[in-house]
Amino acid sequence: MLCVYCAIGQRASAVAKAVADLRENGAMEYTVVVVSEGNDPPGLSYIAPYSATSIAEYFMEAGRDVLIVYDDLTHHARAYRELSLLLRRPPGREAYPGDIFYIHSRLLERATHMLDELGGGSLTALPIIETEAQNIAAYIPTNLISITDGQIYLAPNLFELGILPAVDVGKSVSRVGGKAQFAAYRAVAGDLKLAYAQFEELETFARFGTRLDENTREVIEHGRRIRTCLKQPEFEPVSVPGQIAILLALTGRLFDSVPLERMRDAELALRKAATDFSAELVQRLTSAEELDGKDRETILQIARETLAPFQDSP
C-alpha cells in the first residue's frame, strides 16, 4: 500500500504537524505529500489535487495499491470559485460555478481498480470536506456525499466532550459497508446503532432532571458504555477478533454491570483475551462465513470470564 496525502489550502503549521506524525510513525517511507498552502495563489490550490492524483495513478498503473487523501476539497471548491469569478463565469448556488459538481466527480471517479491484465493496481480516494455550522446539507457537502460511497461525520460537540474519534454514528453512513465488511461484523453489530440513537435522545431529556423509569435508566447506562467503547486512543488500532469480542459483549450487555470508571481496563482485558482465540476461530471471523451459534457462545463465554472481575457484585 502506498499513500498520497494532498493538502489543499492548509496552514503550513498543520501540514508540518501531519508530516511530523507520519515521519514519527515511519509512514513517510510509503507516503507522498503534495502541499498547497493557504497563502498560495488559488491556481495552485486548484491544480494540487489533480497533480496528486496523477502521481497516484502512476503507481497504480505500476500495479500498486494506492490510497489518496484530499485535505480538503472545500478549499479546492473555494479556489475554483475564486478563479471562476475572476474569469467572469456566471455564478450559481453560493456563488459557485455551475460545473463544480462535474469538477469533483471527474476527480473522484479516477479512483478505480485495474484488471489483472492491466497490472491489477488500485486507487482509493478519501476526500475530506469542511462543514460550516455543522451543516452537511450545504452545497459542497451534499455534492460530495452524492459522489462517494458514504461518509464519516466528525461532530464538534463530541470532540468538546472528549469523545475521540468524534464520529457521529447517526450521520455517518456507508452504502457499501454490508458488502465490504466481514460477515461477522454484521452478525455482532446488530441493533447497536439503534440502541445508541435511543440513548442519545434519552440522555438529552435526562439532563433536565426528568424522573426516569428503570427501563429508561438501563437504556442510558447501556448507551454510556457503548460510547465509552467507541472511544479509541490515537495510533492504537484494534484487531478484528478484539473488535468482534467487544461488539458482541456490548450487544450481549455484558458491560452494563461494569462501572464506567473501570470500562477502559475491562475493554483492554477483553482485547487481550481476544489475542488468545484459536487460529481456527480467527480464520472464521476474518472469512466470508457467517458467525454461527457455537462461535458466538465461545466468544461470549470468554467475555463473561474476562469481565467478571470488573463487574459490580449484585
User: Which residues are designated catalytic?
Assistant: 175
140 touches 148 (CB < 8 A): no
Which residue in the block uniquely carries the three cell numbers 481476544?
274
CA 263-265-267 angle, to 5 degrees, is: 65
Task: Tell me how many helices (H) and strands (E) the chain has.
Answer: 14, 6
| Residue 282, SS3 per DSSP | helix
Contacting residues for 30 by C-beta, under 8 A, at least 6 apart: 1, 2, 3
The identity of residue 297, as a single letter, is: E
| φ, ψ for residue 170, nearest 5 deg | -70, -40
| Residue 4, SS3 per DSSP | strand
| φ, ψ for residue 202, nearest 5 deg | -70, -35
| Residue 150, SS3 per DSSP | strand
Cell of 308: 467478571
Cell of 27: 509512514
- Strand order of the β-sheet with 122-128 is 31-37, 2-10, 65-71, 122-128
Among candidate residues 98, 97, 102, 71, the one with its CA nearest the CA of residue 86: 97
Integer Cα distance of 281 and 274 in angstroms: 10
23 touches 80 (CB < 8 A): no
Integer Cα distance of 163 and 228 in angstroms: 8
Integer Cα distance of 165 and 25 in angstroms: 19
